[in-house]
Amino acid sequence: MKPRVRFAPSPTGPLHIGGVRTALYNYLFAKQNGGTMLLRIEDTDQTRFVPGAEEYIIEAFQWLGIKFDEGVGIGGEFGPYRQSERKAMYKQYADQLIANGYAYYAFDTPEALEQKRKDCEAEKKTFQYDLHTRGEMTNSLTLEASEVERRIAAGEPYVVRFMHQPDTEILVDDLIRGEVRINSNILDDKVLYKSDGMPTYHLANIVDDHLMQITHVIRGEEWLPSAPLHVMLYKAFGWEAPRFAHLPLLLKPDGNGKLSKRDGDRLGFPVFPLQWKDPKSGEISSGYRESGYLPEAVINMLALLGWNPGNDQEVMSLDELIQLFSLEKISKAGAKFDLEKAKWFNHHYLQAVDDAELAKNFQATLKQKNIDACMEKITRVVALVKERLYFTNDLWEQSSFFFERPSSYDEQAIKKRWKEGTPERLQAIAEILKGCVPFDKESAHNQVMDYIHQNELNMGQIMNSFRLTLVGAAKGPDLFEIVDILGVEEVIERINAGIIAIENHIKNQNN
């Protein structure tokens, strides 16, 4: 049987990259096995609904190149795929559980529950609505049947709670964690349905997974504690449960705790695929896309957070991942987010991007800075500095001096590289370059080298100060590549301007 899997986010805000990884693993598993992956939006908790979140989720997967086969925005024969649109169908399932003795009505008001909690606290106990306490509460187990009917008919608010049986060992057979056994006595009677007509996550999730014929539930470890209830729900309905696979947590880089929504911007990396602006507070959280990451790099990096192919292969395209992925090789231990690794992947994939494509985007950045440069020059610059880039956004930082004359000169470099005699030597270099016809990288290089040899100088005496006048700092790619791209006139002007500015600077300092 071909697997059917689902990614089932709640539209409560931007999608955390942990969620993206969950979707990715579902996708890899489905594609490898010729199966189907669907996108279901779990929006039953209207109090947590955030406008724009659903659109964000869809856009994020479009950017990443993860395609759903069915679901919200696509359609399919198991729709609707938005739980709020399925609202009417859940009640019958809650009724069925009550009729068969697997669930009960509870009428406890929020105040009564709060009081009960306080009473327990006073006795240094924590309150849980379960098989030990349900007999003390206001529900269809403690009230007369006629009273229950009366309350419901009168429109009194109620919830439907699952009724765990005593002393039952519940087995969750997890594809990653193996057999997890839990005794029913410690579980609480979770709310499944509310009289406002909305199911809770637990009921809606199980009903939909069943109706949508889901074969494998692959989701984050935070849902493992809910899995025993889910197993019991399948039993109560008499349905065959899907296979479960609970994925390890994504941890902070130091391994101390779960990677939270707040961590990213605090530690200097995005936790969301795309930038997100909170509709209420207006607060902006950074995204991988806007930070200059390539989708291929994000996919590759995420795939390895909690899984590896069993050897040390690290670079894998989406197609290769589909070939190599296996649920069995997912680790049980949490996976530490590694910023350096993320950057390394991005650097790697960036090298494969066409120079012309990078140049086109960079031209737009330059235009914003009112810099008009021709594509030929931009493409040459891009080709030259590409190996130094971690992000496309680094392009300006790595190459600004090709488009703007230095406005200042690095203090350290002046101290170290600017000696007596430097101005005269650089003037001599400027003269030599003027006479260099045709002017190109080789001829400029040869002439400068001849000058160095003839005057019995060493390379350092010329090259470093020369670079300083062209770049403004002791950085950048091969000096003669820079010379070639700038052209002879610009080089000579920069040498002359640099000499004046640096000499003045030194004079002012000495006064």
Rounded least distance, CB 399 to ligand GLU, Å? 43
Residue with smaller CB distance to ligand GLU, 244 or 345? 244
Residue with smaller CB distance to ligand GLU, 105 or 272? 272
Residue with smaller CB distance to ligand GLU, 248 or 423? 248
DSSP per-residue letters across 32-91: HTT-EEEE-B----GGG--TTHHHHHHHHHHHHT---SEETTTB-TT---BGGGGGGGTH
Residue with smaller CB distance to ligand GLU, 10 or 379? 10
Residue with smaller CB distance to ligand GLU, 81 or 362? 81
Residue 397, both tokens: 């930082």
Rounded least distance, CB 472 to ligand GLU, Å? 51
Residue 341, both tokens: 């690794």
> Is 386 among the catalytic positions?
no
Number of Cβ atoms within 10 Å of the Cβ of 180? 17
Residue with smaller CB distance to ligand GLU, 8 or 395? 8
User: Cα(9)–Cα(389) distance, rounded to whole angstroms?
Assistant: 34
Residues of 66-77 as b/e, b for ≥16 C-beta within 10 angstroms?
Answer: bebbbbbeeebe
Q: Is 92 helix (H, G, I), strand (E, B) or coil?
A: helix
Helix, strand, coil % over all residues of the chain, rounded to 5? 50, 15, 35
Rounded least distance, CB 9 to ligand GLU, Å? 5
Instruction: Judge whether 505 and 414 are in contact, CB under 8 Å.
Output: yes
DSSP per-residue letters across 100-125: TTSEEEE---HHHHHHHHHHHHHTT-
Rounded least distance, CB 194 to ligand GLU, Å? 17
Number of Cβ atoms within 10 Å of the Cβ of 168? 15
Rounded least distance, CB 223 to ligand GLU, Å? 5
Q: Which residues make up the interface to ligand GLU (CB under 6 A)?
A: 8-10, 42, 201, 205, 219, 223
Find the catalytic residue in 87, 258, 261, 341. 261
Residue 343, both tokens: 């950057």
Pairing of strands 169-174, 178-183: antiparallel
Rounded least distance, CB 215 to ligand GLU, Å? 14
The residues annotated as belonging to the active site are 261
